[in-house]
Chains A and B, each alone.
Chain A
Amino acid sequence: QVQLQESGPGLVKPSGTLSLTCAVSGGSISTANWWSWVRQPPGKGLEWIGEVYHSGKTNYNPSLMSRVTISVDESRNQFSLKMSSVTAADTAVYYCARDAGGFTFDYWGQGTLVTVSS
């Protein structure tokens, strides 16, 4: 059973950089799957941030791509999100998820709340 676990600071200052890591267990990250970050502002819907393949290839949401970097570390079986120049609008629950074969998000992390505030 694949499990994903997000980790990182729960509070980030405005104009700072949000950094999160997703640890994958129960399976290898080096498989034919994409690994995504999805966020959900309080009381709002889901927003896809971007994805990474184990080769390092990435795709990003055009509305966020100027501020976002997603990377993979096969040796640690984890992938990461960095988002720069954050504002209060970036306050959200951040989920990592596996996109099985690029077809569907079959495994999700529990989510981690990141608040942007001074």
Chain B
Amino acid sequence: SSELTQDPAVSVALGQTVRITCQGDSLRNYYPSWFQQKPGQAPLLVFYDKNNRPSGIPDRFSGSSSGNTASLTITGAQAEDEADYYCNSRDSSGDLVFFGGGTKLSVL
């Protein structure tokens, strides 16, 4: 299967660390990308490939991957990190793109 599975919702206390996970067979072949989406806005790339963070993204965002599971970690979550987070990857053929169902992050 090329589907990507994410927990629907996760919460974290302000300043604490949270891990958002993404599972799927394609992750054995491809590193995922992670996107943050706030209401009414387009998705924003926050982490991709093995260890890449786009310019302007705080270093509290990091990623890791092992086997069929990838994680986006936010170390010291801030109020502005409250958003929906999506992972995405290609399937094993490289011809198809998939998104996870998204995780709604609440910062308490």
Q: Which residues of A contact B95 (CB under 8 A)?
A: 59
Contacts A59-B96, A62-B96 hold; do A105 and B101 have CB atoms under 8 A apart? no
In the complex, chain A residues whose CB is within 8 Å of the CB of B37: 46
Inter-chain contact A105/B35, CB cutoff 8 Å: yes
Closest to A57 in B: B95
Is there contact, CB below 8 Å, between A102 and B45? no
A51 to B95, CA, bound (A): 9
A10 to chain B, nearest CB (A): 16
Selected from B43, B49, B99, the residue in CB contact (under 8 A) with A103 is B49
- CB distance A102 to B94 under 8 Å? yes
State in angstroms the CA–CA spacing of A111 and B34 once bound together.
18
> A111 touching B42 by the CB < 8 A rule?
yes
Residue pair A110, B86 in contact (C-beta under 8 Å): no
Judge if B97 is at the interface, Cβ distance under 8 Å: yes
Q: Name the residue of chain B whose CB is nearest to the CB of A45.
A: B102
Interface of B is mostly: strand
With a CB–CB cut-off of 8 A, which chain A residues contact B88? 46, 48, 104-105
Is there contact, CB below 8 Å, between A102 and B101?
Answer: no
State in angstroms the CA–CA spacing of A111 and B42 once bound together: 7
Pick from B90, B97, B100, B102 the residue with the most CB of A within 10 Å: B97
For B90, the chain A residues whose CB sits under 8 A away are 102
Query: Measured between alpha carbons, how far is A46 from B36 in the docked complex, in Å?
Result: 12
- CB-CB under 8 A from B86, the residues of chain A are 45-46
Contact of B49 with A104 in the complex, beta carbons under 8 Å? yes
A103 and chain B: residue at smallest CB distance: B49
Known contacts A104-B49, A105-B88; decide if A46 and B96 are in contact (CB<8 Å): no
Q: Measuring CB to CB, which residues of chain A are less than 8 angstroms from any residue of chain B? A: 36, 38, 45-48, 51, 59, 61-62, 95, 99, 102-106, 108-111
Q: Pick the 3 closest A-B CB pairs, nearest first.
A: A104-B48, A104-B33, A48-B97
Chain B residues in the interface with A (C-beta under 8 A): 33, 35, 37, 42-45, 48-49, 54, 86, 88, 90, 94-102
